[in-house]
Amino acid sequence: MTDFRKSCVYQIYPKSFYDSNGDGLGDLAGVTAKLLYLKELGVDYIWMTPFFVSPQKDNGYDVEDYYQIDPRYGTMEDFETLAAKAKECGIKLMLDMVFNHTSSRHEWFQRALKGEEKYKNFYIFRKGKAPGVPPTNWESKFGGNAWEYVPEFDEYYLHLFDVSQPDLNWDNEEVRLEVQKIVRFWMEKGVRGFRFDVVNLISKGEFADDETGDGRRFYTDGPNVHKYLRELNEATFGQDEGIITVGEMSSTSMENCFRYAGQDSHELSMVFSFHHLKVDFMGNEKWVLVPFDFQKLKNILFDWQQGMAEHNAWNAVFWCNHDQPRVVSRFGQEGKYWKESAKMLATVIHCLRGTPYIYQGEELGMTNAHFTDISQYRDVESLNYYRILQEKGLQAKDAFRIIQIHSRDNGRTPMQWDESVNGGFTTGTPWIGVNDNYRTINAEAEMADEDSVFYYYKKLIALRKEYDVIADGDILPISPKDPSAFAYERRLGNQRLLVINNFYERECEFCLEENLDSFEKLLSNYKGPDGRSMGRIHLRPYESMVLYKKE
């Protein structure tokens, strides 16, 4: 059985990772070319975002064919080579499966549009409430109404995301059987992990108007979602204890996640939840500029850590992914304390209870894109909201500033490999611009510097494998109301681990009711002596330390 508690997963956005043929797009051969880099880092799994045939309206999350590699990423032979070479490096592959919706160009949907009843039932078609009025007032997550009118049928189809991403009808058993076939196909190709995109949205409840307008309560953690996940588990990956799974849970509840990722629930190995990444929103509104709420961040992370532990359920722990801004820009600092804050943020996540996920470039401290013109953006959500914000009355410059901070493209700029043109990502013209700071922040420079962010991540990955208390220990918040420090203890038998982090540029004093001098320092982001003195510790800007004791 795979011990995913001690594992670390590295997320690759293939389009932006490494381009092996100079066409400006990263590809599967590019991932193969960088396996030794990932082996050096020490990761156990590579999770790759979708590389299936797709029109790329949503960067591959609109799948046209689940069985074929999109030619822009390579061939099935390239995938098989990658799988074999990764295995030689001791690295397993995790695929990203998008089963809430397909592309509108998928054969199923094309046949539905031709009026084939079987395939119409693969999707969610409904009559409008009145001529020209959609079935409900639900809002698409990418903006606008979530229903699209089809004149030939005088009906609408549901798309919770882009209009080109019609939602599948999971209440149709034929759909569920097709999904099972797809999972088994990739298992036979040697895939050892699956990440399921927005999987808690697959079961829709009542189709009714929502007073808030967004409709989430009708389709989030729906009535049959647990039943359908257990069914998928038992028919596919649950038959192989070596396969790990993670579900992306959109706007979920902790109570549902106890079941999704419960030790004996037979659904998924672990879950992604995103509540902690909404602390710089205004309520659920992403497209605003407000300071992040540090106390709320701690409350959410500690609540989930303790709640999931109490119910024997497992978290995926992370700061970054292809849908999020870069964490060092978001909660850290890009200036004088860039390196210290990047390391501190890594410490906070990697010592928590849960399987840590690293998003490509995070281990280098890559920052937000800092694009200067809207023409540099490629993300459909960002471009939609740039228009929507102006329609709501914002000036273009103010709308653009919000896009700069929150755009998903912040995490999608090319991986910075070295200081050569385009950061060594491609010899051609990159599909999206490379961050201007690639000459100073890049893999080659960091691998030559033992004090780099890269080597700090490597140490954190190794610590989890060496110390059982990190993988299996209980978690206890320390001074959870402290205005500057993010601190917690991990306990397992006679092992104790203290993780103390200053989240700010200002220095601070942190006090505990015991002698800290009796702990061994396993890791710190500052060199030399620290500010420990009995039960008090003086923390420098963004200072972070991991202390250990066996009693």
Give the domain CATH number at 492: 2.60.40.1180
Exposure pattern of 150-179 as b/e (b: 16+ CB <10 Å)?
A: eeeeebbbbbbbbbbbbbbbbbeeebbeeb
Angle at 127 between CA 126 and CA 130, to 5 degrees: 145
Taking the C-alpha atoms of residue 338 and residue 440, their distance in angstroms, rounded to an integer, is 12
Mean pLDDT value of segment 323-338: 97
Q: Within 364-439, where are the H helices?
A: 380-391, 396-406
Q: Please check whether residue 426 lies inside any domain of the structure.
A: no
Is residue 119 one of the residues assigned to a domain?
yes
Residue 97 lies in a domain: no
Does 78 score more than 70 pLDDT? yes
Give per-residue pLDDT as tens, 451-501: 999 999 999 999 999 999 999 999 999 999 999 999 999 999 999 999 999
Report the domain count for the chain: 2
Give residue-wise pLDDT tens across range 297-322. 999 999 999 999 999 999 999 999 99
CA 373 to CA 378: how far, in whole Å? Answer: 11
Domain span at residue 536? Answer: 470-550
Distance (Å, whole) CA 85 – CA 419: 27
Q: Which residues are catalytic?
A: 197, 248
| pLDDT reading at 199 higher than 70 | yes
CA distance 286 to 293: 14
Residue (of 346, 344, 387) closest to 363 by Cα position: 346
Contact 473, 359 (CB under 8 A): no
Average pLDDT value for the chain: 96
CATH assignment at residue 113: 3.90.400.10
Identify the pLDDT of residue 159.
98
* Domain annotation covers residue 537: yes
Asked whether 287 and 408 are in contact (CB, 8 A), the reply is no
Task: Give me the mean pLDDT over the 270-286 stretch.
Answer: 92
Would 485 be classed as within a structural domain? yes
CA atoms lying within 13 Å on the CB side of residue 387: 10
Final residue of a domain: which of 122, 143, 158? 158
